[in-house]
Chain A
């Protein structure tokens, strides 16, 4: 992180919030912290434009940690090609037609654009294993549903704002549901349990579009 500025915001007595210019910088700092872990680091939460770093105040301080960050080597994930995960999707979601209407596209064109992109896992956090994927086609950027569903089935492939995502388990949700996948993205018996980690690239592939539920 030699060249870019680090904007460090205070976040209580055991965390700092680092503001970065974009996701690329977030993932670079995340990778650098993973490879050169400063003393006293407890957890790192990458997000769209920030990295939250919690620390053990008995071991380090916000100021010492900030100094550590400034001296991390500038690591770009480009040297280390991130894994690509392909997720087969049945594009049979209940919101597919509504999304097509809102975007002024045909349903087929929505599917073509959604499955035609390569996404990057930006961050997780809404639920265990729920990954926010960036790279969504501009025409598909819609604000979330006005009335969130109380129950979205596990495996639902969805979009909202400038993100796409897959609900790892059933629960409430306000995203637009385009389809479903049988891929298991969260498995407590797997290490790590989440299949989609920050930096991972994702492509959705079309499967069984005619089998609308």
Chain B
């Protein structure tokens, strides 16, 4: 084995769940393959920036701490996401700042008081074999490197982008009570007029069956408009979609959501608010507020284009 492919990381303890993620595999929807990728993309990107990796570099995403990794070579690392106690050998380290782990030392991450997911980026990025152009584990499709286990050995890649220059990044800690901005649609018209009021006026609780596919939410059910069918022909789904199954309880789709779904989507969480959503743990509270489409760079609701010389007119309500 050459120096470039010799393993550098040895997983001592994966904790509850530790997986390899990058920015996923966009562009394969027509094959039935979703994007996947880091669930909290903002924290993932920050981790790579702190160690001056290319944005595509793969990192470890882990749930509720408990991760322990032995380093066979000295490496520069950064931890982001749900903050917890960190030790590199006998030294204390911190989240949101790059630091060195020396050859032979074990990096240990404790349990976070708040938040769910942590990211460990290593200078150069993880060098596991990509599948369909990405090193991400897609938990729904079963594509990519499977969840890490004790004893797994990981090489590093050479996904650098300059030299580390940031000492510490100021990051607000995750909150157990967040308000997410929502753009109504595409199927808001299928719901009773009171449903959007209820969505925006209620607190929902994240339930224990939430995962990388989506946050299952308990709270006031969102009722369909009289006569509107519970199901529709399957259609493409996006990350952040609030899909409402027949029981009326919304599911907020995260990174590993299905490519298509047959239940109506009442609204879509603004892309920038999906990362904080991915830090919510069972029992946390989430609220929603409407946002102006223009503010989030989205279309005004219900634009209809009828031919090249056409006018804008009201949407067809499905």
Binding site for B on A (CB under 8 A): 2-3, 5-17, 19, 30, 42-52, 54, 57, 61-63, 66-67, 69-71, 123-132, 169, 188, 192-194, 197-198
Contact = CB atoms under 8 A, between A and B. Distances in A.
B260 A66 contact: no
Interface in B133-176: 141-143
Contact of A54 (B238, B265, B305, B310): B238
A6 B306 contact: yes
Residue with the highest number of chain B CB atoms closer than 10 Å, among A12, A50, A128: A12
B120 interface: no
Contacts of A46: 30, 236
Contacts of A47: 233-236, 260
Given A17-B235, A193-B132, A9 B315 contact: yes
Nearest to A5: B306
A136 B193 CA distance: 37
Interface in B296-318: 296-308, 310, 315-316, 318
Contacts of B184: 10
B27 interface: yes
B32 A124 contact: yes
Contacts of A70: 305, 307-308, 310
A10 B305 contact: no
Chain B binding site: helix, strand, loop or mixed by DSSP?
loop
A42 B236 CA distance: 13
Interface in B155-205: 183-187
29 contacts: A5-B305, A7-B315, A8-B304, A9-B185, A10-B293, A10-B302, A11-B238, A13-B298, A14-B271, A14-B298, A17-B236, A42-B27, A43-B26, A45-B237, A45-B260, A52-B29, A61-B299, A66-B303, A124-B260, A125-B32, A125-B234, A125-B236, A125-B259, A127-B141, A128-B33, A128-B141, A130-B32, A132-B234, A197-B30
A62 B312 CA distance: 14
B258 interface: yes
B46 interface: no
A71 B305 CA distance: 11
Nearest to A30: B30
A17 B243 CA distance: 15
A114 to B, nearest CB: 21
Contacts of A49: 233, 235
Contact of B307 (A3, A13, A16): A3
List the 4 closest pairs (A to B, CB-CB), nearest first.
A52-B236, A12-B268, A125-B260, A45-B236
B128 interface: no
A67 B305 CA distance: 8
Contacts of A130: 32
Contacts of A52: 29, 235-238
A44 B305 CA distance: 19
B31 A194 contact: yes
A51 B236 contact: yes
Given A11-B185, A45-B259, A131-B32, 17 more contacts: A5-B306, A10-B183, A12-B269, A12-B270, A13-B268, A13-B298, A14-B298, A42-B26, A45-B237, A46-B30, A52-B29, A54-B26, A63-B303, A71-B308, A130-B32, A188-B132, A197-B30
Contact of A10 (B28, B33, B186, B233): B186
Contact of A11 (B30, B132, B268): B268
Nearest to A52: B236
Contact of A16 (B233, B234, B270, B299): B299
A7 B26 CA distance: 24
B7 interface: no
Contact of A62 (B26, B30, B299): B299
Contacts of B293: 10, 13
Nearest to B240: A12
